[in-house]
Structure 1
């Protein structure tokens, strides 16, 4: 369908929200820059293995993810894919590229560039909401709420460039708290204009694919940088099995059922499900770096920092998946969801025990045990699904 050079935003509500809403080609292009950003974040973590490095990785990852999510939530309600929207998206792509450029020294000499890039991205999003509020009167209370909250955060990030390190990061934290709290406190405004039940899960799934891809990149990178032997190939295959297991247990159950609670006024359930994808993405990206460390350690001594990074990242993913599965109604009864969550938490505890007591394990044995814990989750999923199908057939028969 041809579009004019520019058309005012319109709000997708009621019947629009019930229709199957798919990602646009522009959104898929927009995602490409985040492939680069995640790669740079992983490169940062790979060079700063340890607790302080992981905390720094989180500090840089959260604003990057929030940029992606902010654009996604605007698009799910107001995108027009006209000339104006495309040009603003191009500017946002450039600003995410600037974020990626400043990542490696983002907590040091490049922190000013990182802060300004983030603030500029947020100001562009505010401009989009100003336009939407101007043309769509019904949505003005919601857009004004977002504009006020996001503007406060963006100004704090701009202000931070005049604050010396490390106090600068205090303003970053406050700004992010304001950013995260703005949708969370929207209340009835969110219930009046809920996000798309098909579009948001698909977009989150696509971002999950991006961070899962980092594990595949880590395997290729790890094997390419050393001579092939049985142990390195085995570690690579086990690393791929971990990524595949996470893909299986996430995408085998992902849907927007927790978002339906918004219509009932239960915003906390929906926002818990939504915000849980942040630590999941952090864990998946860090798992890729951990796999790289495991492959690199095949011919040397595995450091305690590398062991904790790898096991901690996998345990984080499993713990977050336990929470997501607990509130995903389409997985079945409350009892079945609790069982699935217990499996995930049990595996997370096992992996953490390996981190704490695995000093005598080689990297190959460690990655094999972790891979076993993850693959077991897939097997348990299949067993539960088969049992549920059998019970249904017996009742139906």
Structure 2
């Protein structure tokens, strides 16, 4: 994992092979860890079904766009497996495989012991996932602080800094006070773990991308934000809000309630990305604050019924 992190900076140059190899090793070792313990995780089917690793292995013999396309294919396969293979189906598959092995071995002959199903401690996992999102939000604050330390301190910088902090605070509230497992607007225990982890990853990626955009916005306190940075900010918040909308639907809020929750905010974000070509850093950041504040305000006033949930990580 350390090699993967160190390879990111040069992944478009000469470190893509190292990144892919490290990913393959991490995935393989993760699966073997359960195998050595004589267990498997029904709610994490990709630990047993490694088809998504095949494109990563093949990518070692490709470069450029073809390599990235193979990576995307591998991730798509893993996501498909996570969404389509239930814990019950995986348990049935494991039972059938070991029953077949016993038949092939014949009566009286020993076969490998069938692995036991490892049960999830859902409240503990939910607390860990929430803590992970909190760490990502903290990294976003660090990005803004680092960028501000190199900029001229004036009223515009104070505006960007205050807006950035408020935006991240709103996302913390949506993900942890009005969400579950770090996913905004998700009701606790409404989805199995295998369906919680993909949106959790998308939310974490969106916040990480937003953090980079906020750091860049500090440099444009007196100039229009360039289009790539503008879309990095608006696009990442748009992904966050889209995931929140899906989570709200899954949590039983219904289409009208979900549309009221995220529709206006998502519209503001997309219009800002497409049309706010002359917006300077402070203006763009506060537009995003207004978008997130709407969703937070509606969520506060229209809380769904909740079941028990794990302790909330403090900000």
Q: TM-score range by the shorter chain?
A: 0.7 to 0.9
Deviation at 1:276, TM superposition (A): 1.5
In 1, are the aligned partners of 2:225 and 2:278 still within 8 Å (CA)? no
CA distance in 1 between counterparts of 2:44 and 2:120 reads: 17
User: 1:346 aligned to 2:264?
Assistant: yes
Structure 1 residues 108 and 274: CA distance shift in structure 2, 3 A? same
Match of 2:300 in 1: 382
RMSD over aligned Cα atoms:
2.9
CA distance in 2 between counterparts of 1:305 and 1:145 reads: 37
User: 1:234 aligned to 2:234?
Assistant: no
Q: State which of 148, 159, 164 in structure 1 corresponds to 2:63.
A: 164
CA distance in 2 between counterparts of 1:339 and 1:241 reads: 25
Match of 2:140 in 1: 215
CA distance in 2 between counterparts of 1:193 and 1:130 reads: 11
Q: State which of 12, 15, 19 in structure 2 corresponds to 1:107.
A: 12
Q: Which runs of 5+ in 1 are unaligned?
A: 1-95, 263-269, 389-397
Q: State which of 320, 345, 361 in structure 1 corresponds to 2:243.
A: 320
Match of 1:36 in 2: none
CA distance in 2 between counterparts of 1:379 and 1:144 reads: 35
Q: Which runs of structure 2 are paired with 1:80-91 in the superposition (5 Å)?
A: none
Deviation at 1:196, TM superposition (A): 3.0
CA distance in 2 between counterparts of 1:260 and 1:230 reads: 45
Deviation at 1:199, TM superposition (A): 2.4
Deviation at 1:320, TM superposition (A): 1.2
User: 1:361 aligned to 2:279?
Assistant: yes
Q: For each residue in 1:157-202, what CA deviation from the matched residue of structure 2 results, as whole angstroms up to 9, or x when unmatched? A: 2332223333223332332233333343433145886633212322
Deviation at 1:318, TM superposition (A): 1.4
Structure in which a larger fraction of residues adopt helix: 1
Structure 1 residues 353 and 149: CA distance shift in structure 2, 3 A? same
In 1, are the aligned partners of 2:213 and 2:233 still within 8 Å (CA)? yes
Q: Which runs of 5+ in 2 are unaligned?
A: 92-116, 182-186, 306-315
Other structure's SS at 1:104 match: helix
Deviation at 1:346, TM superposition (A): 1.6
CA distance in 1 between counterparts of 2:90 and 2:121 reads: 12
Count of residues in Structure 1 that have an aligned counterpart in Structure 2:
274
In 1, are the aligned partners of 2:241 and 2:262 still within 8 Å (CA)? yes
In 1, are the aligned partners of 2:52 and 2:78 still within 8 Å (CA)? yes
Q: Which runs of structure 2 are paired with 1:8-27 in the superposition (5 Å)?
A: none
In 2, are the aligned partners of 1:245 and 1:377 still within 8 Å (CA)? no
CA distance in 1 between counterparts of 2:287 and 2:47 reads: 48
Deviation at 1:340, TM superposition (A): 4.7
Q: For each residue in 1:227-286, what CA deviation from the matched residue of structure 2 results, as whole angstroms up to 9, or x when unmatched? A: 211110111110111000011112113336564554xxxxxxx64443222221121111
Structure 1 residues 292 and 380: CA distance shift in structure 2, 3 A? same
Q: For each residue in 1:347-396, what CA deviation from the matched residue of structure 2 results, as whole angstroms up to 9, or x when unmatched? A: 011111112121233221221222122223333333335x99xxxxxxxx
Taking structure 2 as the reference length, the TM-score comes to 0.76
Match of 1:91 in 2: none
Match of 1:370 in 2: 288
Deviation at 1:127, TM superposition (A): 1.4
User: 1:195 aligned to 2:195?
Assistant: no
Deviation at 1:147, TM superposition (A): 5.2
CA distance in 1 between counterparts of 2:83 and 2:119 reads: 13
Q: State which of 169, 184, 194 in structure 1 corresponds to 2:83.
A: 184
Taking structure 1 as the reference length, the TM-score comes to 0.62
Q: State which of 163, 175, 180 in structure 1 corresponds to 2:74.
A: 175
Moved more, 210-219 or 183-192: 183-192
CA distance in 2 between counterparts of 1:109 and 1:184 reads: 34
Match of 1:306 in 2: 229
Match of 2:203 in 1: 280
User: 1:245 aligned to 2:245?
Assistant: no
Structure 1 residues 310 and 108: CA distance shift in structure 2, 3 A? same
Match of 2:21 in 1: 116
Other structure's SS at 1:103 match: helix
